[in-house]
Chain A
Amino acid sequence: MTLLWAVLALALALAGQAVAGNWLPGALRYVDLLMLPVLWYGLARSQRSAMLVGCLAGALEDAWFRAGVFGLRGFDKTLLGWLVGGIGARLDLNVAWGRAAAGAALPVADRMLEFGLLRLLDLSPGSLEPVELLGRAASGGALALAAFSVVDRLGSRRPRPKGSGWSR
């Protein structure tokens, strides 16, 4: 069942990203909807599920929104999934401020990691502008709050002890 939710979350994020890309192309510079499932699984579920979802989200992003080396975004998001899952297991970030903070930090870390990896691979990473990082942080935090509250309201966040089945 967790796998089904993960697939659904990724499909929704992919659809959102595709719609944003077509309607507000400039906004994609600041918005990474595929990061939301990683964040959700990292904070509300487990480190392991965050890593796996990160791996899948990265692969989808590489296939549909990147023209460079396939696997790079998967690498990036897997690592971030591990990081957010690890921190989420030690600190209770699944509260409003924690969600906003993690939602703001993750896209910034994602962009910086991507920048570093592209530099390592001797590819042009573009410029790392403070405005872009600030925009990503702001949109990431706001989107995390909005998405988490929608999920909460829909009641799909069933009370489930951490560490059961696939979500261990």
Chain B
Amino acid sequence: MAEANPARINLFLLVVLLLGQLLVMAGSVRRDAGATLLETGVAKVGEPVVALTRGAGRGLDGLVGFFSELARARRENALLRVELERLRSEVNRYREQSAENERLRRLLGMREALAPRSVAASVIARSLTGSTRMIVLDQGRRAGVREDLPVVAWGGAVGRVVLAGEDYAKVRLLTDPNSGVSGIVQRTRAEGMVEGRAGDPLEMTYVPKYADVVAGDRVVTSGLDGVFPKGFGIGRVIAVEEPAGSTVKRILIEPEMPFEAVEEVLVLTERTGSALLEAGVPPRGGP
């Protein structure tokens, strides 16, 4: 009996593996929500390794940080005492203002603005490569994280959950080329779609040429996309172009969120509509 040709066997194996991957891809594209069983399984297999690196990294960080923190702590302690006194007086002032605010809201029949419910999560992995800008969080469906929920940090928009496993979630960052969020220029209320462009600045599109936008303007989420509540910071305009023959401006935005440094985030688990946070007051006579 003739011996099988290894090259042919390898070619056959290649075809089988590639077909298998195509089937997996088809299943991944067709899924309505959540990770496929295979993806969850692979993530679970790799989870101990990633968790270990995270633990080791934190340990090393902690050791290095300990000594520098010790010296800094003394200096900061004195400053913090002063700051504490200032904040105490401010808190008292805000309490007064909050009570006054509530009275006025009731008076005007406005809806009470409630803080959205959220899940705090740590970043356990991130990928900022050519075609992908994403992070992986250590909280998943078990904690109430679902697909399409907004992720924020430090008052700024971070991204959107694109996949939620049992104990992890993948978040597509605003800078991902496949990301888009509805934004509004805080000063003039000009609206547009803010799209990611990987390593380059964000681009705000669909802003008409007559809209008043200049470099330095702050752009925040508009709440119109049904994902992000209103008022979370996106970035600042760094350039405004008016391409010849086009009816819209080309606006480049420098993100205000240092995506590569984000370590803890909040996943807003409650859809809150668009009237949750104030994005600013429109100017008199503005568009």
Q: A residues within 8 Å of B by Cβ?
A: 11, 14-15, 18-19, 21-23, 25-26, 28-29, 47-48, 51-52, 55, 58-60, 62-72, 74-75, 78-79, 82, 85-86, 111, 114-115, 118, 121, 123-129, 132, 163, 168
Contacts and interface: CB of A to CB of B under 8 A. Distances in A.
Contacts of B104: none
A80 to B, nearest CB: 11
Interface in B32-66: 35-36, 38-39, 42-43, 45-46, 49-50, 52-54, 56-57
A103 to B, nearest CB: 18
Given A26-B260, A63-B42, A126-B132, 4 more contacts: A55-B17, A69-B28, A78-B18, A132-B130
Interface of B: 6, 9-10, 13-14, 17-18, 21-25, 27-29, 35-36, 38-39, 42-43, 45-46, 49-50, 52-54, 56-57, 123-132, 134, 136, 162-163, 170-172, 176-178, 197-200, 259-260
Nearest to A29: B129
A121 B123 CA distance: 28
Tell me what chain A mostly uses at the interface: helix, strand, loop, or mixed. helix
Contacts of A70: 24-25, 27-28, 35-36, 38-39
Nearest to A54: B17
B125 A60 contact: no
Contact of B125 (A65, A78, A168): A65
Contact of A51 (B17, B124, B178, B197): B17
A65 B127 CA distance: 5
Contacts of A48: 6, 9-10, 13
